[in-house]
Amino acid sequence: MSATIVGIDIGSVAIRAVELKDADKARPTLLRFHELPLPTGAVNRGEVIEPSTVSSVLKRLWSTGGFKSKNVVIGMGNQRVLARDLTLPRMSQERIREALPFQVQELLPVPVADAMLDFYPVSEGESDTGPVVHGLLIASIKEAVMGNVRAVEKSGLTTKEVDLIPFALARVLLRGDQANGTVAIVDIGASATTIVIATNGVPQFLRIIPAGGDDLTTALAQRLETTPEQADGLKRGLGLRTSVDDPQYQYPMEIINEVTSELLISARNTLEYFSQSRPEASVDRILLTGGGANLGGLPDALAELTRTRVIQADPYAGIALGKSFNADELRERQASILVALGLALGSKA
């Protein structure tokens, strides 16, 4: 493979990139990380809307971040990605991919010709008709994926792979002892919340909830008739709480609690669905990540609602840091670096 590879996380508010050396080795080295903000509307829930704008930001990202490689891995993980449980007769991965278009049309909301299909094997078993393989059907809207690829390549970069963001999260967070048992990763981003449930490091279930931290900011701005900047400051200052001393903050507190509760209930329902469908693999802890997870009081509220231990994982376990990095500064930015790091780690290019 190339000596280095770059993982690119194209978010709704920023583009982040990580360059790794020896990504396929047991202890890869983090060489570079940089991020730049995106203009509002250039990307909507992970899908590139303004290719020229995104390409321009990517060019600046490369020049200011000092990235050496132009070989990149990009991620997909918005509502245009679907994941479903699927059981198929046991066969090679190559034959499974060939058979998918003829097996899954009834599971898709779009014609097979409009989707990019893949199958992620989880376990093997026996059925009345013979050996089977259980896994996850992954389907992405083809035009959404290719739109992102075109925007990246317009900036002079070469897309080596397109990876699923939930798998990237599992790859970077579930390394070594952190992978033991059944773990739910809850990543609250700006516009989507990704939930991945894995047993001993192997993803078993995933769901993408089309709601994130920006939804709370928007609700505050609209209902209080204020600016997004003021709403964001209010959100960060108040956090989740049950009472306020100053009556002027009573209504903002109620808005924060209402909107956040909807998201947390969706997360709880997802975990309950998994537990009911797989009673032999109950979730024993939640790894909470993402910029939206920084809302004060949210980790405790999620733990109370799900009755599950909520902890912070170490995304740098097993990662060597380049000489230019300060470990403490990296930990403060771990929510930003997480997806891009996971994408680079999964590179086979």
Per-residue pLDDT tens digits for 262-282: 999 999 999 999 999 888 888
If asked whether residues 275 and 206 sit together in one domain, one would say yes
Give pLDDT tens digits for 214-255.
999 999 999 999 999 999 999 999 999 999 999 999 999 999
- In a domain? residue 169: no
* Stronger pLDDT, 130 or 256, i.e. the higher one: 256
If asked whether residues 213 and 282 sit together in one domain, one would say yes
Contact assessment for residue 35 and residue 15, using Cβ atoms and an 8 Å cutoff: yes
Structure tokens at 344: 């680079």
- In a domain? residue 234: yes
The predicted pLDDT at position 123 comes to 86
The predicted pLDDT at position 1 comes to 45
Domain final position from 118, 141, 164: 141
DSSP track, 203-250 = EEEEEEES--HHHHHHHHHHHHT--HHHHHHHHHHH-S-S--SSGGGH
- In a domain? residue 36: no
Which of 38-52, 57-71, 246-260 has the lowest average pLDDT? 38-52
If asked whether residues 233 and 289 sit together in one domain, one would say yes
* Stronger pLDDT, 26 or 41, i.e. the higher one: 41
- Tell me how far apart the alpha carbons of residues 345 and 18 are, in angstroms, rounded to a whole number: 10
- In a domain? residue 296: yes
- In a domain? residue 28: no
If asked whether residues 220 and 269 sit together in one domain, one would say yes
If asked whether residues 127 and 184 sit together in one domain, one would say no
If asked whether residues 199 and 267 sit together in one domain, one would say yes
If asked whether residues 242 and 191 sit together in one domain, one would say yes
If asked whether residues 119 and 233 sit together in one domain, one would say no
If asked whether residues 123 and 233 sit together in one domain, one would say no
Contacts of 146 by beta carbon, 8 Å cutoff, 6+ apart:
none
Percent of the chain's residues with pLDDT above 70: 99
If asked whether residues 194 and 285 sit together in one domain, one would say yes
- In a domain? residue 15: no
Give pLDDT tens digits for 150-166.
999 999 999 999 999 99
Average pLDDT for residues 305-315, to the nearest whole number?
88
CATH for 122: 3.30.1490.300
- In a domain? residue 46: no
If asked whether residues 206 and 307 sit together in one domain, one would say yes
Distance spanning both ends of the chain, measured CA to CA: 5
If asked whether residues 134 and 182 sit together in one domain, one would say no
The predicted pLDDT at position 151 comes to 95
Is the pLDDT assigned to residue 320 strictly greater than 80? Answer: yes
> Domain range holding 298?
176-313
The predicted pLDDT at position 73 comes to 96
Mean pLDDT, all residues of the chain: 91
CATH for 199: 3.30.420.40
Task: Give the chain's domain count.
Answer: 2
Q: Indicate the residue type of 122.
A: V
- In a domain? residue 42: no
CA nearest to 195, candidates 265, 270, 297: 270
The predicted pLDDT at position 349 comes to 56
Beta bridge partners of 7: 18, 73
